Structure formats: C-alpha cells, structure tokens
Amino acid sequence: VDPHMQRRGIGRALIEYCADFAHKQGSTALHVVGNPHAKDFYEECGFEVTGKTETRFGPGLLMKKKV
C-alpha cells in the first residue's frame, strides 16, 4: 500500500479478501515474505513468523496465516 494511503485499512482488507478467496479455493493458509518493518502489521492480521530468508531487498520474514 502506498505510504500516503497507509493506516486506512486497505492492507488489512486486501489480506482478508485474499484469505477468503484462498479458503474458498481449498487452501489452508496464506504465505508471505514480509518486510521486517511490517512484522507488527502482519501479526495483527493473524500471520505468524515461520522463518527468515534473504531477498534482493534485504532480509525478509517468512510468515503464515491459516485460512
């Protein structure tokens, strides 16, 4: 979400839309590689850290949310 549009519920709405869609398709979880600076946001949306990885942008968090 564009920084000027953050803190308006857009990111949370996108995650919930994806979780609902994935569930309807038979998936059991969403997986993301999250920016460590966004860890609190993802955790507030129900994700758990499952590991760490390197990306071309630097360190990333492997995160999972059950749907």
Beta bridge partners of 18: none
Distances (CA, A) of 64 to 2, 5, 47, 59: 23, 25, 5, 17
Residue 64 backbone class (left: φ over 0; alpha: ψ -120 to 50; beta: rest): beta
Give 4's pLDDT tier (boundaries 50, 70, 90): very high
pLDDT for 32: 97
For the segment 6-56, what is each residue's pLDDT rounded down to a tens digit? 999 999 999 999 999 999 999 999 999 999 999 999 999 999 999 999 999
Alpha helices in the chain (DSSP H): 10-24, 39-44
